A and B are shown apart, each in its own frame.
Chain A
Amino acid sequence: MDERQLERMAQELGREQARDLDPEATARAVLDRLRAEGAREAWWQRIAARPRRALAPVAAAAAIVLGAVFGIQQLGGPGAVAENGLPLEVGMDQLAEEELSAVLDSLEYEAPVYELVPVALADLNEDELSALLETLEG
């Protein structure tokens, strides 16, 4: 067998299978796929372009919400309170009177605040001690 004969035979290879293929249908299928791919890419491009414009406020809001959730978790979760009736890690000495009232109001805590505060007599100055004695005497 010479090379020319081999080439002639090679030219016949696959001819039968190729005959079953419809080039028009192939063209339609390829274009459909390209269009679908193009639409997907365009969608991604739109999404990628958004953060600089419309998504910026959304991202900021999401950051605030996540920050709040994280903060609540750091405090022991919603409703978790220390033995003194206050949120964990927040001492009364860290709050002003107005802040303390606001916190207790928000928790609808109606018990007298000072009942739960451990105060030793040694912590009171002269005026406070006098006021306390007057209260006890009625």
Chain B
Amino acid sequence: MTVPVPAEGPLDAQLIAEWRSGDEGAAAELVRRHTPALARFLAAAGAREDLDDLVQETFFRAFRRIETFRGTAKFATWLMAIASNALKDLRRRAKGRTVLTLEERDLPDETADPHGEVVGRDLMDRLERAVQGLPPMQRDVFLMRAQQGAEYKEIAEALETSVGAARVHYHQAVKRLKATLEK
């Protein structure tokens, strides 16, 4: 399990140092590099039509408080922690407004799919719902590890918890997800 590392170009740490000294190009490169993974994390955590805004908000918050990034966690994992907070803030603000659930969204017509694909999609939908139904800490740890491939140590750093606690959250999440999917 490994976090995707750019095949070429400067390391994140170098780009962060360049951004700290005011190089906008370095910030743009960090955004380009991490947007896809960050978007996958946020979408899996429950972001919908606000995905674009949340990705932008996450980078904006990250760059504004870049001085607090100590480099003990990977930049990508640190971004996920910020993204999780941004999502939580958005949900708090949106409380009371109508939010489309997974069942209400427009999903592709599955009747045209072969049987196996329908079953696969159904399983994915159930997993998506189950992940989004996890307590936030379990959800974040699960996605950081299972989806993004982060190590417990960096997850613990990013979420400001201990490695042992991160491990426990992950195993509880896996247990709950398996129980939901095997029903």
Q: Which residues of A contact B (CB under 8 A)?
A: 1, 3, 6-7, 9-18, 21, 23-24, 26-31, 33-35, 37
Q: Across the interface, which residues of B come within 8 angstroms of A9, CB to CB?
A: 123-124, 127
Interface of B is mostly: helix
Inter-chain CA distance A12–B32, complex, in Å, is 20
Out of B29, B31, B51, B56, which one reaches A17, CB within 8 Å?
B51
Inter-chain CA distance A15–B146, complex, in Å, is 14
Inter-chain CA distance A126–B152, complex, in Å, is 108
Out of A6, A21, A28, A34, which one reaches B63, CB within 8 Å?
A34
Can you identify 8 A-B contacts, CB atoms within 8 angstroms? A10-B127, A11-B147, A18-B40, A21-B52, A27-B27, A27-B28, A27-B31, A33-B56
Q: A-B contact count, CB below 8 Å?
A: 104
Interface residues of B in 139-162 (CB under 8 A from A): 142-143, 146-147
> How many residues on chain B are close to A (CB under 8 Å)?
41
Q: B174–A6 contact, CB under 8 A?
A: yes
Q: A33–B60 contact, CB under 8 A?
A: yes
Q: A18–B43 contact, CB under 8 A?
A: yes
Q: A21–B146 contact, CB under 8 A?
A: no
Q: B27–A34 contact, CB under 8 A?
A: yes
Q: B43–A30 contact, CB under 8 A?
A: no
Given A21-B39, A30-B31: A11 and B146 within 8 A (CB)? yes
Inter-chain CA distance A17–B182, complex, in Å, is 26
